[in-house]
Chains A and B, each alone.
Chain A
Amino acid sequence: MSERCFHCAEPIEDGVRLLARIGVQDCAVCCIGCQAAAEWINGLGLHDYYRLRDTPAITATALQNYAAWDRPQLQRLYVRHGANGVDEICVLVEGLRCSACSWLIERALRDVQGVTDVAVNAAAKRLTLNWRPDTIALSAILLRLARLGYVPHPLDATALDAVARNEQRLALKRLLVAGLGMMQSMMYAIALYAGAFEGMNPETRDFFRWLGLLVTTPVILYAGVPFFAGAWREWRARTLGMNTPVAAAVALVYVASVIETIAHGANVYFDSASMFIFLLLGARYIEMHARFRAADVADALARLQPALAQRRLESGALEMVGVHELNANDVVVVDAGAAIPADGILLSTRCSVDESLLTGEADPRLHLLGDALIAGSVARSGPIELRVQQIGAETVLSSIVRLVTRAQQQRPHWAHIGDRFATVFVSAVLGLTLVTAAVWLIVDPSRAFAAALAVLVVSCPCAFALSVPAALTRAMALLARSGVLVLKPDALEKLVRADHFVFDKTGTLTSRQLELTCVIPFGRLTINECLDIAAQLECGNAHPFALAIRNAPTWTVTNRATKLQQLAGLGVEGEIDGKTFRLGRSGFAAGLCGSDPDLLEDGVLLADRVGPLARFVFREQLRDDAAAVIASLHGEGITTEIVSGDATAQVENVAARIAVDSYRSRMSPSEKLDRLRTLRGEGRIVAMVGDGVNDAPVLAGADVAIALGDGALLAQSSADIVLASNRLGALVDARILAKSTLRILRQNLIWAFVYNLGTIPLAALGFVPPWLAAIGMSTSSLFVVINAMRIGPPARKSRGEIPIVAKPRELVTT
């Protein structure tokens, strides 16, 4: 129990004595698969991997057959045929978790004969492979990858990927052009400012102005394109967004400076224009980066539906085909542990299916002959056969995706309010500029242009436009570092203002594992003897009950059980020292001794031929920080609620253990959505924390939706905030940070407002020369940015370490 596998860090079961030779020492591993993987990695001279990695490898599993990947029908979809007989494929790699993984994969595949290029992107979990099909088959390369413990999945998103990549590259280029242009034009501007004080002859001054024009023009015409294009789009759609004032201000300042340069006027403002563009582009770039990272995670939706299926031919033989090749009425065989490729009807007599992605229920559900199975759910027992009914876009999973998309479109866009405010402000300033110019034309025409320009520059919406993005990007970058991805910027404000938190239960407050709470013996054997028998019967079983029994602290004896037989949905039967035992649902276990079957309904029963021996009672394992998070929310006067699709007793149990204010059980997704609507109708601001595909539409209906990372990845695409660290406590950290962000934001806005209110009248009256206005504008923007940098990293004190070894629990007797 105490020792952990060197390769995958799973606990090593007692009695397993496997060693893998790594470097000069022997390291204990948990299974033959891990031993092979570890020794193979060492044999390739790649044992540095174990030093570099920051997360353990996934447990090496039985190797799949990758021959289907060589089928032309599959390759046509996923493989690009390049020049010189080199093919390229992009695959999503399951188990690729950190940079060390990508290092390992690159090293291991690069030396393979026939592989021309390997590129691994750890952030996107992707592998781009170039190889010569006449030298090596794709399946051989993938088999090598699988031996390392990584499972490849075909990815049809290469086209989409290229679009995103180009967008990112273009944004980076624009940012750099703006940055370099800004630096150069500021250098020339400083020379000009110095000249204004120290005296400078007009030729030199004009020379520097032309230089400023030279370096600023590419910034405006190349880097500034997104703003002008955005303003054009807004103009055509007759809406007013942030792009319009930005584009108007930049264009006016630039054109005014060009006129001044040509006309030998008083002042130029090339530095202001390029700095404005650079700072805004920087904010946009960081935002885009965060968005793409989140999209990469959500992209793993591809994994929910398998790409391959085993089709049974009329002759009875099996053939591996791509899912898109399936037709209605095909018969498909699914192995235990594999995902079901299409919606269909079960042809086998019985099968337990893990539908937790769709229902959120932790227990696998038993299906009988003729039941409908849903694509994306996982067969726990097998192999099973099913008759295909719907594939692709017609499956239940796809329709849930559509539901999410529709719910997302119904969301109110609060961000527009801020934009509208800035737009009103800018139109007011533009009007004021015209009035100033008009009045000065009457009073003193020679000072009209300078005064109007001063008004425009001094009130340039920089501080306003920057105050929100500067603070938000700083906060988002900090949060991303601690594993909280903010997908929609206005979610931070909602997170702070939310006064009612709704939690889903399974996978959100509880982990998907069960824990053994008590063993109730019936007198013939002691607790430890019963546990010992149960543990031996459950050896090698992956059912949550079995894992909970094996994790109980008293199991020390090696495995002696024989004739083990697992009956899906019922339990397990086996012989120990010649005696037959059954462990499972009470009816099944009591059937062995012929006693009353409806003896007990809770937990599982252990029985031999004489009679029942003991009952095992389980409960869901709470997340470590669930109670702390609820307590911290209550401490701030926030009400909490559990809304779950599970049975009342289970929900009640969890609700009592973490002390939430209220709970509702047996809720369907539409009822959950109604509940949220009711709460919002009462004027509450509702935050919903959940996971699971069934939660996705519900999440979209809340004011702020928060998804946990280990749940169904689909839920993340409709969430505003994703806790990618899979730590509920991150929610509290995020709230603290969001609060300080809002405080800074408010300071920034007040500053921008006070500054503009104070300077515009002075500028309009002609007291502010335009160069001073430019300095004032830069200072106010700088103030806003520096103030945003004061947002500190979230407090780390609530970060609880996950205990490596389960704490010994008291076993209660009744």
Chain B
Amino acid sequence: MNIILVLIPLSLILLVAAVWAFFWSVNHAQFDDLETPALMPLSEDPLPPQNAEDPP
């Protein structure tokens, strides 16, 4: 049973780290828009801009 004396503090440290990471990401606008990023993986990587010309 002594193993829990190691594992439980370890899990608590991980818990604190997870909460800190989540707070950081919420504060950095990672959760403000949950719809747009869902489409990002579907697009191919952008090609290097080929002499983009403005329309007339």
Neighbouring A residues of B12 by C-beta, 8 Å: 184, 211, 214-215
The distance in angstroms between the C-alpha atoms of A618 and B33, with both chains bound, is 45
Neighbouring A residues of B33 by C-beta, 8 Å: 121-124
Question: C-beta contact mask, B31-48 vs A, less than 8 Å → 1, else 0?
Answer: 111011011101110111
A116-133 with Cβ < 8 A to chain B: 119-124
Once A39-B55, A52-B39 are accepted as A-B contacts, the answer to whether A204 and B1 lie under 8 Å apart by CB is yes
Contact of B50 among A43, A99, A119, A177 (CB under 8 A): A43
Neighbouring B residues of A211 by C-beta, 8 Å: 8, 12
**Which residue of chain A is the closest to B47 with respect to CB atoms?**
A45
Once A122-B33, A173-B23 are accepted as A-B contacts, the answer to whether A36 and B56 lie under 8 Å apart by CB is yes
Contact across chains for B11 and A44 when beta carbons are under 8 A apart: no
Interface residues on A, range: 35 or more
Question: C-beta contact mask, B3-25 vs A, less than 8 Å → 1, else 0?
Answer: 00000100110010011001100
Neighbouring B residues of A99 by C-beta, 8 Å: 35-36, 38-39
Neighbouring B residues of A122 by C-beta, 8 Å: 33, 35-36
Q: Is A78 an interface residue (CB 8 A)?
A: no
Contact of B43 among A37, A52, A120, A169 (CB under 8 A): A52
Neighbouring A residues of B42 by C-beta, 8 Å: 52
Least CB distance, B54 to chain A, in whole angstroms: 7
Contact across chains for A48 and B35 when beta carbons are under 8 A apart: no
Once A40-B55, A43-B53 are accepted as A-B contacts, the answer to whether A48 and B32 lie under 8 Å apart by CB is no
Contact across chains for B39 and A44 when beta carbons are under 8 A apart: no
**Which residue of chain A is the closest to B43 with respect to CB atoms?**
A48
Once A39-B55, A52-B43, A172-B31 are accepted as A-B contacts, the answer to whether A102 and B22 lie under 8 Å apart by CB is no
Question: C-beta contact mask, A84-122 vs B, less than 8 Å → 1, else 0?
Answer: 000000000000000110110001000100000001111
Neighbouring B residues of A204 by C-beta, 8 Å: 1
Neighbouring B residues of A39 by C-beta, 8 Å: 55
Question: C-beta contact mask, A7-42 vs B, less than 8 Å → 1, else 0?
Answer: 000000000000000000000000000001101100
Contact across chains for A44 and B52 when beta carbons are under 8 A apart: yes
**Which residue of chain A is the closest to B32 with respect to CB atoms?**
A165
The distance in angstroms between the C-alpha atoms of A702 and B54, with both chains bound, is 52
Least CB distance, B39 to chain A, in whole angstroms: 4
Neighbouring B residues of A177 by C-beta, 8 Å: 19
The distance in angstroms between the C-alpha atoms of A184 and B11, with both chains bound, is 9
Contact of B22 among A107, A165, A173 (CB under 8 A): A173
Once A121-B36, A204-B1 are accepted as A-B contacts, the answer to whether A173 and B26 lie under 8 Å apart by CB is yes
**Which residue of chain B is the closest to A204 with respect to CB atoms?**
B1
Least CB distance, A334 to chain B, in whole angstroms: 27
The distance in angstroms between the C-alpha atoms of A173 and B48, with both chains bound, is 39
A713-749 with Cβ < 8 A to chain B: none
The distance in angstroms between the C-alpha atoms of A280 and B22, with both chains bound, is 20
Q: Is A505 an interface residue (CB 8 A)?
A: no
Question: C-beta contact mask, A136-149 vs B, less than 8 Å → 1, else 0?
Answer: 00000000000100
The distance in angstroms between the C-alpha atoms of A102 and B33, with both chains bound, is 11
Q: Is A673 an interface residue (CB 8 A)?
A: no
Contact across chains for B49 and A45 when beta carbons are under 8 A apart: yes
Least CB distance, B21 to chain A, in whole angstroms: 10
**Would you call the interface of chain B mostly helix, strand, loop, or mixed?**
loop
Interface residues on B, range: 20 to 34
Contact across chains for A48 and B44 when beta carbons are under 8 A apart: yes
The distance in angstroms between the C-alpha atoms of A164 and B12, with both chains bound, is 32
Neighbouring A residues of B56 by C-beta, 8 Å: 36
The distance in angstroms between the C-alpha atoms of A356 and B35, with both chains bound, is 33
The distance in angstroms between the C-alpha atoms of A338 and B26, with both chains bound, is 41
Neighbouring A residues of B19 by C-beta, 8 Å: 176-177, 180
**Which residue of chain B is the closest to A53 with respect to CB atoms?**
B39
The distance in angstroms between the C-alpha atoms of A121 and B46, with both chains bound, is 20
**Which residue of chain A is the closest to B9 with respect to CB atoms?**
A211
The distance in angstroms between the C-alpha atoms of A165 and B31, with both chains bound, is 10
The distance in angstroms between the C-alpha atoms of A447 and B19, with both chains bound, is 40
Contact of A180 among B8, B18, B40, B48 (CB under 8 A): B18
Least CB distance, A40 to chain B, in whole angstroms: 4
Once A52-B39, A103-B36 are accepted as A-B contacts, the answer to whether A169 and B50 lie under 8 Å apart by CB is no
Neighbouring A residues of B32 by C-beta, 8 Å: 121, 165, 168-169
The distance in angstroms between the C-alpha atoms of A48 and B44, with both chains bound, is 8
Neighbouring A residues of B38 by C-beta, 8 Å: 99
The distance in angstroms between the C-alpha atoms of A180 and B52, with both chains bound, is 49
* Most-contacted residue by chain A among B22, B36, B46 (CB, 10 A): B36
* Most-contacted residue by chain A among B8, B38, B42, B55 (CB, 10 A): B55
Contact of A111 among B8, B36, B44, B49 (CB under 8 A): B49
The distance in angstroms between the C-alpha atoms of A48 and B38, with both chains bound, is 15
**Which residue of chain B is the closest to A222 with respect to CB atoms?**
B19
Contact across chains for B49 and A120 when beta carbons are under 8 A apart: no
The distance in angstroms between the C-alpha atoms of A563 and B3, with both chains bound, is 94
Neighbouring B residues of A43 by C-beta, 8 Å: 50-53
Neighbouring B residues of A52 by C-beta, 8 Å: 39, 42-43
Least CB distance, A809 to chain B, in whole angstroms: 38
A266-309 with Cβ < 8 A to chain B: none
Once A36-B55, A177-B19 are accepted as A-B contacts, the answer to whether A44 and B49 lie under 8 Å apart by CB is yes
Once A147-B55, A169-B27 are accepted as A-B contacts, the answer to whether A103 and B18 lie under 8 Å apart by CB is no
The distance in angstroms between the C-alpha atoms of A729 and B30, with both chains bound, is 36
The distance in angstroms between the C-alpha atoms of A123 and B22, with both chains bound, is 23
The distance in angstroms between the C-alpha atoms of A176 and B21, with both chains bound, is 11
A34-69 with Cβ < 8 A to chain B: 36-37, 39-40, 43-46, 48, 52
Contact across chains for B36 and A120 when beta carbons are under 8 A apart: yes
The distance in angstroms between the C-alpha atoms of A43 and B52, with both chains bound, is 5
The distance in angstroms between the C-alpha atoms of A286 and B46, with both chains bound, is 35
* Most-contacted residue by chain A among B12, B42, B52 (CB, 10 A): B52
**Which residue of chain A is the closest to B53 with respect to CB atoms?**
A43
The distance in angstroms between the C-alpha atoms of A211 and B48, with both chains bound, is 55
The distance in angstroms between the C-alpha atoms of A156 and B8, with both chains bound, is 51
Once A52-B43, A102-B36 are accepted as A-B contacts, the answer to whether A37 and B15 lie under 8 Å apart by CB is no
Neighbouring B residues of A36 by C-beta, 8 Å: 55-56
Neighbouring A residues of B52 by C-beta, 8 Å: 40, 43-45
Contact across chains for B50 and A45 when beta carbons are under 8 A apart: yes
Contact of A40 among B1, B26, B54 (CB under 8 A): B54
The distance in angstroms between the C-alpha atoms of A172 and B50, with both chains bound, is 42
The distance in angstroms between the C-alpha atoms of A374 and B28, with both chains bound, is 43
Least CB distance, B46 to chain A, in whole angstroms: 6
**Which residue of chain B is the closest to A171 with respect to CB atoms?**
B26
Neighbouring B residues of A184 by C-beta, 8 Å: 11-12, 15
Once A37-B55, A44-B52 are accepted as A-B contacts, the answer to whether A169 and B1 lie under 8 Å apart by CB is no
**Which residue of chain A is the closest to B22 with respect to CB atoms?**
A176
Contact across chains for B50 and A180 when beta carbons are under 8 A apart: no
Q: List 7 A-B contacts (CB under 8 A).
A: A40-B54, A99-B38, A103-B40, A121-B33, A173-B22, A180-B15, A204-B1
| Other 4 A-B pairs with CB < 8 A, given A100-B39, A169-B32, A173-B23 | A40-B55, A46-B46, A48-B44, A169-B27
Instruction: Identify the 3 closest CB pairs spanning chains A and B, nearest first.
Output: A36-B55, A99-B39, A45-B47
